[in-house]
Amino acid sequence: MDTPDDVSALFAAIDSLRGKHNVFAFRGDLGAGKTTLIKALCKKFGVKDEMSSPSFAIVNEYDSEEVGQIYHFDLYRLKTPEELLDIGWEDYLYTDSMLFVEWPDKGGTFLPDDTVYIDIKVDEESESRNLTLST
């Protein structure tokens, strides 16, 4: 993928996995394009709302014409994984909604076993992104 806005292949992969999986966790260094990828994916799923990084709110909610609610989490500012419980994490997990999670490692063991991980590596020379999906 040349830019974080070019999400066609990633969209197709996630679209084929949703229903069996609802948590999609994005891992990558600062500036790798996690938020940009999630915004582009949300647009592909029919979100028309203004989107922003949930860095301070921890979670943003978007209405999707195609899949209903999408929740975008940014766990970067969590001091402990247990803080997820304070925002109702378990309630989000038991919905049919899609959850896009940045900095999932900050969530510790609270991410479900069937989480789909999207690892983002930036090629410094070309500035392209290499994505790897795993469960």
Model pLDDT, residue 51: 79
The tens digit of pLDDT for each residue in 38-87 reads: 999 999 999 988 877 766 678 999 999 889 999 999 999 999 999 999 99
- The CATH class of the 8-134 domain is alpha beta
Separation between Cα atoms, residue 113 and residue 133, nearest integer Å: 14
Percent of residues, the chain, with pLDDT higher than 70: 93
Sequence-ordered list of residues with C-beta below 8 angstroms from that of 49, at least 6 positions apart, any chain? 62, 63
DSSP conformation class of 37: H
Mean pLDDT across 81-95: 93
Which one is predicted more confidently, 51 or 114? 114
